[in-house]
Amino acid sequence: MADRIDPLTLAVIRGSLEQVADEMDATLERMAFSPVISDGFDRASGIYDKENGEVIIQGPRGLPNFIYVMEHTVRSVIGRITDIAPGDVYIVNDPYLGGTHLMDVKMVKPYFHRGELTAFLANSGHWPDIGGRVPGGFSTHATEIYQEGLRLPPLALFKRGTLNQEVLDIILHNVRVPRERQGDIIAQVTSLHAGAEKLTQLIDRHGRDTLFRAIDELSDRSERLMRAHIEAIPDGAYTFQEHIDSDGIDWTPLTIDLRLTIDGSSVHVDLSNSSPPCRGPLNSVLSTTMAGVFIGFKHVFPDVPINAGCFRPFTFDIPPTTFLNAQEPRPVSGCAAEVCQRMIDVILGALGQALPEKAYAGPMGTVTNLAVGGNDPLRGYYVFYSFIGGGYGGNHLTDGLINGNPTLAVARTQALEIFESHYPVLFRQYAIREGSGGAGLRRGGLGVVFEFELRRGDASASLLGDRGRFQPFGVFGGKPARTARHTFMLGGREYTPEHLTKDEGVSMSAGDVLRLETPGGGGFGDPRKRSPDLVAEDLKLGYYHRQTAEEEYGVVPSDRNSKTGSD
Amino acid sequence: MIGGFDIGGTYTDIVILDPASKTLRTGKVGSTPGDPSEGFLEGLMSLAVDPADLQLVIHGTTVATNAILERNGCKCGLIATKGFRDILELRRRDRPHLYGLTGDYRPLIPRYQRLEVTERISAEGEVVTPLNEDELISAAERLVAEEVEAVVVSFLNSYANPAHEHRARTLLQQRWPDLFVVASSEVLALFREFERTSTAVVNAYVQPVMSRYLTRLHGYLSEKGYDRDLLVMQSNGGTVGTVSARERPVNTVLSGPAAGVIAAAEIAMESGFHNLINYDMGGTSLDVSLVVEGKPVFSSGREIEFGIPVMLSMIDIQTVGAGGGSIARIDEGGILQVGPKSAGAEPGPICYGRGGEDPTVTDAQAVLGRINPYYRIAGGSLDVERARQGIAKVLGQPLGLSTEAAAEAVLAVAANRTIGSIRRISIDRGYDPRDFALFSFGGAGPLFISHLLRETGAQIGLVPYYPGVLSAWGCAIANLQRDYVAMVNRRLTDLTSDEVIAQLEAQQAEGEHFLNQEKVALSRIHVLREAELSYEGQTHQLRIGLPAGGLSLPGIRAAFHDAYLERFGASRDQFCGLDTLLEELPVRLMNLRTTVIGIRAEYAMRDLMPSCQDPPASALKGTRPVWSAGEWIECPTYERAGLSRGAELEGPAVIEQHDTTVWLDDSTRAQVDATGNLVVRLL
Q: How far is CA A338 from the centre of its chain?
A: 8
Q: What residue ranges do the domains of chain B occupy?
A: 2-68+211-255, 74-200, 480-599, 607-682
Q: Is B83 close to A224, i.e. CB distance below 8 A? A: no
Q: Is B412 close to A12, i.e. CB distance below 8 A? A: yes
Q: Is A228 close to B423, i.e. CB distance below 8 A? A: no
Is B100 in the A-facing interface, judged by CB distances under 8 Å? yes
Helix axis angle for B36-46 and B193-223, nearest 10°, is: 50
DSSP code for A322: S
Measured in residues, chain A has a length of 567
What value, to the nearest 5°, has the Cα angle with vertex A108 and ends A106 and A110? 175
Is B156 in the A-facing interface, judged by CB distances under 8 Å? yes
pLDDT for the residue B375: 67
Is B93 in the A-facing interface, judged by CB distances under 8 Å? yes
A window 275-304, beta carbon within 8 A of B:
298-300, 302-304
Domain count, chain A: 2
pLDDT for the residue B271: 93
Phi-psi bin for B609: left (phi > 0), alpha (psi -120 to 50), beta?
A: beta
Q: Is the pLDDT of residue A562 over 60?
A: no
Residue A340 in domain: no
Residue A369 in domain: yes
Report CA torsion sign: B394, B399, B405, B408: negative
Helix (H, G, I), strand (E, B) or coil at B546: strand
B window 336-355, beta carbon within 8 A of A:
336-337
Same domain, A216 and A365: no
Q: Is B539 close to A39, i.e. CB distance below 8 A? A: yes
Do the beta carbons of residue B587 and residue B533 sit within 8 Å? yes
Pairs of residues, one from chain A and one from chain B, whose beta carbons lie less than 8 Å apart:
238
Nearest CB among A183, A221, A395 relative to B535 is that of A183
pLDDT for the residue A180: 87
Is A431 in the B-facing interface, judged by CB distances under 8 Å? yes
pLDDT for the residue B379: 59
Q: Give the residue among B476, B473, B493 at the shortest CA–CA distance from B57.
A: B476
Cβ contacts of A445 on chain B, cutoff 8 Å? 104
Indicate the CATH number of B74-200 among 3.40.50, 1.10.3470, 3.40.120, 3.30.2310: 3.40.50
Do the beta carbons of residue A103 and residue A151 sit within 8 Å? no
For residue A319, say if its preceding peptide bond is cis, omega within 30 degrees of 0: no
**For residues A553 and A443, what is the distance between their CA atoms, to the nearest angstrom?**
10
Do the beta carbons of residue B386 and residue B351 sit within 8 Å? yes
Residue A279 in domain: no
**For residues A14 and A7, what is the distance between their CA atoms, to the nearest angstrom?**
11
Query: Looking at CA atoms only, how far is residue B579 from chain A in angstroms?
Result: 8
B480-599: CATH topology: Dna Ligase; domain 1 (3.30.1490)
From start to end of B393-541, where are the E strands?
437-441, 460-463, 480-491, 524-535
For B82, name the nearest residue in chain A, comparing CA atoms only: A429
Is B19 in the A-facing interface, judged by CB distances under 8 Å? no
pLDDT for the residue B429: 67
Residue A202 in domain: yes
Is A14 in the B-facing interface, judged by CB distances under 8 Å? yes
Cβ contacts of B156 on chain A, cutoff 8 Å? 416-417, 420, 427
Do the beta carbons of residue A124 and residue A106 sit within 8 Å? yes
Q: What is the 3-state secondary structure (H, E, C) of A272-321?
A: CCCCCCCCCCCCCCHHHHHHHHHHHHHHHCCCCCCCHHHHCCEEEECCCC
Q: Is B102 close to A393, i.e. CB distance below 8 A? A: no
Which residues are paired to B593 by β-bridges? B485, B530
In this structure, of A372-381, A538-547, A556-565, B612-621, the range with the lowest mean pLDDT score is A556-565
Domain of A205, in residue numbers: 7-222
Q: What is the distance in angstroms between the CA of the first residue and the CA of the last residue of chain B?
A: 42
With a CB cutoff of 8 Å and minimum separation 6, the contacts of B502 are none
Q: Is B100 close to A410, i.e. CB distance below 8 A? A: no
Residue A347 in domain: no
**For residues B100 and B108, what is the distance between their CA atoms, to the nearest angstrom?**
24
Residue A561 in domain: no
pLDDT for the residue A2: 37
Q: Is the pLDDT of residue A146 over 50?
A: yes
Q: Is A430 close to B84, i.e. CB distance below 8 A? A: yes
User: What is the tens place of the pLDDT at every residue in A355-371?
Assistant: 999 999 999 999 999 99
Kindly list the distances between the CA atom of residue B140 and the CA atoms of B65, B114, B117, B135, B166, in Å, as whole numbers in the listed order. 27, 10, 10, 8, 15
What's the half-sphere exposure (Cβ side, CA atoms, 13 Å) at B340? 5
Q: Best mutation site among A6, A20, A22, A30 for testing chain B: the one with the most B CBs within 10 Å?
A: A30
pTM exceeding 0.90? yes
Q: Give the residue among B315, B235, B179, B193 at the shortest CA–CA distance from B65.
A: B235
A window 375-404, beta carbon within 8 A of B:
388-389, 392-393, 395-404
Q: What are phi and psi of A487, to 5 degrees?
A: -135, 135
Q: Is A398 close to B569, i.e. CB distance below 8 A? A: no
Q: Is the pLDDT of residue A50 over 90?
A: yes
Residue A508, judged by CB atoms within 10 A of its CB (0-12, 13-18, 19+), counts as buried
Q: How does the average pLDDT of chain A come out, rounded?
A: 93
Report the b/e string of A169-208 with b at 16+ CB within 10 A. eebeebbbbbbbbbbbbbbbbbbbbbbbebbbebbeebee
Do the beta carbons of residue A137 and residue A149 sit within 8 Å? yes
State the amino acid at position B514 in one-letter form.
Answer: F
10-residue averages of pLDDT along chain B (683 residues)? 87 89 87 80 89 93 88 95 98 92 94 98 97 98 97 97 97 96 95 96 96 92 91 94 93 94 94 95 89 92 93 91 90 82 84 91 96 71 93 94 95 90 76 89 92 90 93 94 91 94 95 88 92 89 87 92 79 64 87 93 83 80 93 95 92 90 95 94 93
B window 595-654, beta carbon within 8 A of A:
none
B window 539-558, beta carbon within 8 A of A:
539-540
Q: Best mutation site among B88, B101, B184 for testing chain A: the one with the most A CBs within 10 Å?
A: B101
Q: Is B336 close to A395, i.e. CB distance below 8 A? A: no
Cβ contacts of B110 on chain A, cutoff 8 Å? 540-541
Nearest CB among A33, A407, A543 relative to B538 is that of A33
Strand (E) or helix (H) holding A488: strand A485-490
pLDDT for the residue A1: 40
pLDDT for the residue B585: 85
Same domain, A33 and A179: yes
For residue B610, say if its preceding peptide bond is cis, omega within 30 degrees of 0: no
Is B572 in the A-facing interface, judged by CB distances under 8 Å? yes
B2-68+211-255: CATH topology: Nucleotidyltransferase; domain 5 (3.30.420)
Residue A346, judged by CB atoms within 10 A of its CB (0-12, 13-18, 19+), counts as buried
